Structure 1
Amino acid sequence: MNVIERVARVLAGQFYSRNAGGTEEHAADLVDREWPHFAADALAVMKTLREPTAEMAAAGDSASWHRMVEAALEDARTKTANSLH
């Protein structure tokens, strides 16, 4: 599971699950089915995270963070492209 799917599943869970503000008491099957509809939002979140905040940069290596997020985005692009063939 790539990072886009992971984030999309969290977003779907938040949307559907009663535990997070949704209406479904048991949302797991719904999340399994519907997470792809949240992939664009997940991609937007990951693109936003490419650049660390000042607090994040002060706590660690900004260049490494940027490379890790870019690697996750590239992995998602590759898997998406491969699924279209």
Structure 2
Amino acid sequence: MARVIAADRLSANAEGFETSAADEVDAEWRLYIGQGVAVLKTLREPDIVMANAGDADVWHAMVAAALVDFDGDPSQD
């Protein structure tokens, strides 16, 4: 997720100015980990449409597992 955010900021195909941003994204994506974690935290609980489309418990477990990689215990928020 952090790589996508970095690419969005840097690439001329999005909000950036670099016509070839791959090297810049590789160098800077870690600067966007906090923003990626914030998005994951927002997605922890599926909305009603998402929950009706699949297993909400599985979704929650998957997002929680991703957050553990960055934050430790996701239940502490």
| Short-chain TM bin | 0.7 to 0.9
Q: Which of residues 46, 54, 70 is equivalent to 2:48?
A: 54
Structure 2 unaligned residues grouped into runs of 5+: 73-77
Deviates further, 68-77 or 24-33: 68-77
How large is the RMSD of aligned CA atoms in angstroms?
A: 1.1
Structure 1 unaligned residues grouped into runs of 5+: 1-6, 79-85
Among all aligned residue pairs of Structure 1 and Structure 2, give the percentage whose two residues are the same amino acid.
51
TM-score (normalizing by structure 1): 0.79
Runs of 4+ in 1 over 2 A off after TM superposition: 75-78
Q: How many corresponding residue pairs?
A: 72
More helix by share: 1
Greater relative CO (CA pairs within 8 A, separation 6+)? 1
* Residues 56-76 of structure 1: CA deviation (Å, up to 9, x unaligned): 001011111000110111133
